[in-house]
Amino acid sequence: MSFSDMPVDVGPVYEGERIRGNQMLVELGGPKIDKKFELVRINQKAVDGKVVINGPDLKDMEKGKQYPIGIFVEVAGKVLEEDLEAVFERRIHEFLNYINGVMHLNQRYTTWMRVSQQAFEKGLNTFELIGTILIRLFKAELPIVEKAQVTFYTNDKEIAKPHAMAMDVYNARDERARGLHDDDVDMFYGCVLCQSFAPTHACCITPDRTSLCGSINWFDARAAAKVDPKGPIYEVPPGECYDKLAGHYSGIDEMMKKRSLGEIEKVYLYSGMEYPHTSCGCFEAIDFLIPEIGGHGIIDRNHDGVALNGLPFSAMANQTGGGKQMPGFNGISIQYIASPKYQQYDGGIETIVWMGKNLKDRVNEFLPADLRDKIATEEDVSDINALQKWLEDVKHPIINTDAYKNAVGGGEEEEEEEYEAEGAMVPMGTQSFVVPGAGGAGGFKVILKNCKIHAESIIIKRIDNKKKK
């Protein structure tokens, strides 16, 4: 496959390219835009090579502005089946990032792209070229795709209808997946598509734990592993179940150890606090510990503003992602919140005391009926001090737990002593950090395995380079 006729280079080497605000021509989708989506569907009547642009083309867009983006890819092929659509769809992220001068983040209805000014000046000035590159990559990397066509939607009017159609498709996929549970199957799946961004991350995809990007459920993974067993999505025999409550399986430990090159040795599928699942950067939401309450909050990628702890999604995402096991910050799919196994090792859904309002509205029907009105949102409480009163007023079940009593200072004396004796020791699992060399070059990586970190205080100092000089 050749891209010599293209004005910019195309290849995996450009994955991970970042385009800052001051380098971009335009932003497509992203947090400031209401409607954005990407969808793949099988259509045996797809016209190979066809690219349609509904709305303004790149060359008609105003520099520095944000626009809606809908990317609808239709594929044809004799052996294609519907379960493959979501898996193909996830490849849009990878393929667009192959283009030098295009940055693509997220998935489904959270697409966020930037096209660089530099690429535009080189001649990448139309979606026709981006669509053609996508089509070529789809056919080259997924040989069972025989024909492909792409349609772009780039204004509010054009995107409304296909966006609604895409949301219906995502909901139908999620609904189907909700009917199946981990105990019903004898095979799990893994995915390493995000290793270009997070080298120690692999997703464990089970019926109850949809991939944390939310785009690949157990059915999708099964179909992908069937057509390409040596590909980035593969079978993971669960092996021996060491702990049912934690979701601790020998097969998952083995897979994680192999795929993280020894950095991650143990994963509890249903815990955000002990040996949690690693997080890349594509998670739909973050389950975060609220230590002052002993409960958890959930913030999703589309949350406007800060969470209860004063941090926006982006700040917590930095803490959570990168392929690390970070107890207290766990990247999750929204679908996982609806699972009966949701963080059951940590106390389950009843530990959730705060959620972003939009997210709560979205998952409301899947929450236990007697908990729905007891989970606060930004409309109910504005800070952690107000949260404690709220929880006691609504009689949230967390207030009867030792975790809550210890956190707010009302625990039994004996428990308090035990807590103090252990200090504020947080089990951290495997942690790694990089020590840069002189002048920022070279350096080395330190990996702490099975460590517990106890700090009396953390001091964060800004390094003022001018002063240092």
List interacting residues with ligand SF4 (CB under 6 A).
90, 191-194, 203, 211-213, 215-216, 280, 282
Nearest residue (CB) to ligand SF4, 97 versus 125? 97
Task: Give min distance, CB of 225 to ligand SF4, in A.
Answer: 12
Identity of the residue, 212 or 290, whose beta carbon is nearer to ligand SF4 in the bound complex: 212
Tell me the closest approach of the beta carbon of residue 91 to ligand SF4, in angstroms: 9
Smallest distance, Å, CB 234 to ligand SF4? 11
Which residue lies nearer to ligand SF4 by CB, 341 or 360? Answer: 341
Beta carbon nearer to ligand SF4, 282 or 407: 282
By beta-carbon proximity to ligand SF4, the closer residue of 199 and 291 is: 199
* Distances, alpha carbon 253 to alpha carbons 202, 263, 369, in Å: 11, 11, 35
Q: Please, what is the Cα angle at 13 between 7 and 17, to 5 degrees?
A: 80
b/e per residue, 393-413, with b = 16+ CB within 10 A? Answer: eeebbbbebebbbbbeeebee
According to DSSP, residue 366 is labeled G
CA distance 165 to 177: 19
Shortest approach of ligand SF4 to residue 261 CB, angstroms? Answer: 15
Torsion on CA atoms 320, 325, 329, 331, rounded to nearest 10: 70
Q: Minimum distance from CB of 367 to ligand SF4 (Å)?
A: 24
Strands (E), 23-169: 24-29, 36-42, 51-54, 66-67, 69-76, 102-105, 112-116, 147-153
> Considering beta carbons, is residue 106 or 151 the nearer one to ligand SF4?
106
CB of residue 92 to ligand SF4, shortest distance in Å = 11
Q: Which amino acid is at 274?
A: E
Task: Give the nearer residue to ligand SF4 in terms of CB position, either 39 or 46.
Answer: 39
CB atoms within 10 A of CB 145: 25
Q: In the bound complex, what is the minimum distance in angstroms from residue 13's beta carbon to ligand SF4? A: 19
- Enumerate the H helices of 101-217 as residue ranges: 117-122, 127-141, 156-178
Enter the DSSP assignment of 6.
S
Cα-Cα end-to-end distance for the chain: 50
